[in-house]
Amino acid sequence: MKFSIIGPGGYIGQRHIHAIHHNNGKIISYLDLKKCDSLSNNINFFSKEDMFFEHLKESKPDFCVVCSPNYLHSNHIISSLQSGINVISEKPNCISNEEFLMIEKKIEETNLEVHTIMQLRLHPVLEKLKAISTDTNSRKKAQISFITPRDSEYLESWKTKKEFSGGILFNLGVHYFDLLIQAFGEALKSEVFYNEAYKAKGQTTFKNLDVEWYFSIDPDDQNNGKALERLFEIDNEKIEFSKVPNDLHYENYVEILKGSSMFSFKEIALTMNFMFSINE
């Protein structure tokens, strides 16, 4: 199976390269600002978008993989679809409802596929959450608190700018909200207390679950002795994420390449619409 890739040079791009190679895929071209050291010189390299997408139309890979900066995802997905190529996108596939609707329209026009990497759907913890959700005897309370250190380069980059990345809720929160939606269904209401560059706090109500959440890369939190906190509790029972059986990016690709719709644009719509509603 043949792949082209946009943005392979970064940390996430390397995970996609690994997943492609370990699924016996062949990368035939890539688009980036400069050559990627981990890719062979025999692979077609492009630094200009128009030339890359012209080559995409001619070479016809099975998928174009999008792992460019978040604010470019929508344009790169739509350009790939216009070139006649199915897409695998790093999360999020877009950062606004307007972009989401444009992608949806282009999928309908081209009858092509867009899949999004949402690897925690393959984590064993999801089955535990689903089991908890089936117990309807009492209303449950959950607490999510993720405090994660980031270096100065990250803090000063596009990743902390909401207009470029979607902000901290898209960078850190989306996977955990997605798990809750998968297990407990559609969120009924949310209240966002604040949503800043380095931290966001709020609460969300599901049918039988109330969740308080906090996500932070704020250096002040680390200065207060919370250098790293990954708290996910339901009724004071800790949900443990540390034990992962395999590389979940690789497993995500396995599911997509065997034809699963688990990560299709339609299947992640509920999560994306929720994210837009709390990230205004």
Residue 257 belongs to a domain with what CATH number? 3.40.50.720
Report the domain count for the chain. 2
Residues 154 and 237 in one domain: yes
Residues 137 and 239 in one domain: yes
**Tens digits of per-residue pLDDT, 94-125?**
999 999 999 999 999 999 999 999 999 999 99
Residues 28 and 56 in one domain: yes
pLDDT at residue number 213: 98
Residues 161 and 235 in one domain: yes
pLDDT at residue number 130: 94
Residues 27 and 100 in one domain: yes
Mean pLDDT of 252-279: 96
pLDDT at residue number 222: 75
d(CA 178, CA 120): 8
Residues 218 and 200 in one domain: yes
Helix (H) or strand (E) run with residue 122 in it: none
Mean pLDDT of 86-92: 97
d(CA 273, CA 33): 31
Residues 138 and 76 in one domain: no
Residue 232 belongs to a domain with what CATH number? 3.30.360.10
pLDDT at residue number 225: 59
Q: What is the DSSP letter of 257?
A: H
pLDDT band with cut points at 50, 70 and 90 for residue 224:
low
Determine contact, residues 215/172, Cβ cutoff 8 Å: yes
**Tens digits of per-residue pLDDT, 129-188?**
999 999 877 889 999 999 998 999 999 999 999 999 999 999 999 999 999 999 999 999
Residues 230 and 129 in one domain: yes
Residues 208 and 255 in one domain: no
pLDDT at residue number 226: 62
For residue 279, is it within any domain? no
Residues 166 and 229 in one domain: yes
Q: Is 60 left (phi over 0), alpha (psi -120 to 50) or beta?
A: left
**Tens digits of per-residue pLDDT, 208-221?**
999 999 999 999 88
pLDDT at residue number 229: 81
For residue 275, is it within any domain? no
Q: Output b/e per residue, 105-126; b: 16+ Cβ within 10 A.
A: ebbeebebbbbbbbbbbbbebb
Residues 140 and 235 in one domain: yes
Residues 102 and 194 in one domain: no
Structural domain that includes position 110: 2-118+248-267
d(CA 191, CA 210): 11
